[in-house]
């Protein structure tokens, strides 16, 4: 059943809705292998267009010639030829009679106020994800995040090493804010927060979700659980938002320390994609134990199909989770979360799926104790 742009389903599962964004019909031609074989190069053109200001320039001054573009972004003639060959071949820019403009999809990002968020996501892929993914094959062989070796530091995962890499840390939290702001309308509207009073935001990062929820639901009080390296960042964001009376930060290790008591809702936002199935079951059990009878759990992140064939973004994003941040993780299928919830103690009948309809494969799973 579709409800106001999202799909609200019973626990028996989604069929067509969860398969949005997938191209599963027809056979590949040899030419279809080109964007796969050279996918790494395709991304470099997107990143270059963002970093060099090509798309921003064409948004402000459409229909510029190659020479005008070259002069304004400060490139030599050969370099401009390469950049525009790539951006136009990839349909990121359009060329007519020697004049260039942005593709409609790029202009739409500007018009919708999403360009800054989009470029933050591109920067994350370029500066954090890209190098670690070189170890994807070895990460599959060893079933662990071999790519972490490319991040300086001694912390057990990416999150414990960010503090030792300030530039990377800044890019990471800019990305997380943008990724969350892109998808948060689904969480805010359909997370069921009107019926709860106190939310425990497990692994709440720099407070982006907590702030959005508090602003949208003035009755909520929220506790953010975070590691000690991230706690000060979250506190500063909360202080700057003026919501310090309703949002507090609790520093702890979510796997080793007890969950704070008193919450009637536990939120895992963009969190359970990081860890192994065993760790996720452990976290869900701890949430179940911390909740009172009638308490609610909300899982919010990208989801993959129960059929194991997409969406494409879920598959591609899983390379990052396999290679870099922590020992396990991927964009798990809906059914796997449901299995974990039941194993943690939640009843099958109380589990609900809500599938978003945006360009990202975000979804919600809710359950009641």
**CATH 1.10.10.10 domain extents, the chain:** 52-111
CA 128, 129, 134, 137 dihedral sign is positive
CA nearest neighbour of 92 among 51, 52, 45, 53:
45
- In the block, tokens 């964004």 appear at 21
According to the model, what pLDDT value does residue 25 have? 57
CA nearest neighbour of 291 among 353, 198, 191:
198
According to the model, what pLDDT value does residue 17 have? 43
**CATH 3.40.50.150 domain extents, the chain:** 10-16+179-368
Task: Please provide the distance, in angstroms rounded to a whole number, between the alpha carbons at the two ends of the chain.
Answer: 24
pTM: 0.90
According to the model, what pLDDT value does residue 350 have? 87
According to the model, what pLDDT value does residue 357 have? 86
CATH 3.40.50.150 fits 10-16+179-368, yes or no: yes
According to the model, what pLDDT value does residue 8 have? 38
Fold of the 52-111 domain: Arc Repressor Mutant, subunit A (1.10.10)
Q: Tell me if residue 82 falls in helix, strand or coil.
A: helix
Residue ranges in the chain modelled with pLDDT below 70: 1-25
- Per-residue HEC secondary structure of 127-165 comes to HHHHHHHHHHHHHHHHCCCHHHHHCCCCCCCHHHHHHHC
């Amino acid at each position: 059943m579709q409800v106001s742009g999202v799909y609200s389903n019973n626990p028996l599962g989604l069929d067509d809705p969860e398969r949005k964004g997938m191209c599963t019909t027809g056979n590949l031609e040899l030419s279809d292998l080109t964007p796969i074989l050279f996918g790494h190069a395709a991304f470099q053109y997107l990143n270059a267009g963002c970093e060099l200001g090509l798309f921003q320039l064409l948004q402000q001054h459409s229909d510029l010639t190659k020479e005008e573009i070259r002069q304004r972004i400060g490139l030599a003639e050969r370099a401009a030829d390469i950049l525009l060959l790539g951006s136009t071949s990839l349909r990121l820019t359009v060329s007519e009679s020697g004049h260039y403009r942005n593709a409609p999809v790029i202009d739409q990002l500007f018009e919708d106020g999403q360009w800054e968020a989009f470029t933050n996501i591109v920067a994350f892929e370029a500066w954090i994800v890209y190098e670690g993914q070189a170890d994807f094959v070895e990460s599959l062989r060893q079933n662990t995040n071999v790519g972490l070796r490319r991040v300086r530091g001694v912390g057990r995962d990416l999150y414990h090493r960010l503090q030792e890499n300030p530039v990377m840390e800044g890019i990471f939290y800019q990305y997380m804010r943008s990724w969350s702001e892109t998808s948060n309308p689904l969480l805010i509207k359909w997370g069921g927060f009107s019926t709860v009073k106190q939310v425990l935001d497990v692994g709440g990062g720099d407070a982006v979700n907590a702030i959005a929820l508090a602003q949208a639901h003035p009755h909520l009080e929220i506790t953010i659980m975070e590691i000690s390296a991230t706690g000060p960042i979250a506190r500063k964001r909360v202080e700057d938002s003026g919501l310090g009376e309703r949002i507090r930060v609790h520093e702890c290790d979510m796997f080793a320390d007890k969950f704070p008591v008193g919450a009637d809702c536990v939120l895992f936002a963009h969190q359970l994609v990081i860890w192994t199935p065993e760790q996720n079951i452990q976290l869900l059990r701890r949430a179940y134990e911390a909740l009172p009878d009638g308490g609610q759990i909300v899982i919010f992140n990208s989801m993959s199909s129960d059929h194991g064939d997409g969406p494409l973004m879920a598959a591609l994003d899983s390379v990052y989770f396999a290679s870099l941040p922590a020992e396990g993780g991927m964009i798990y299928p809906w059914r796997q979360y449901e299995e974990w919830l039941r194993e943690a103690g939640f009843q099958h009948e109380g589990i609900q799926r809500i599938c978003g309809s945006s360009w990202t494969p975000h979804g919600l799973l809710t359950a009641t104790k």
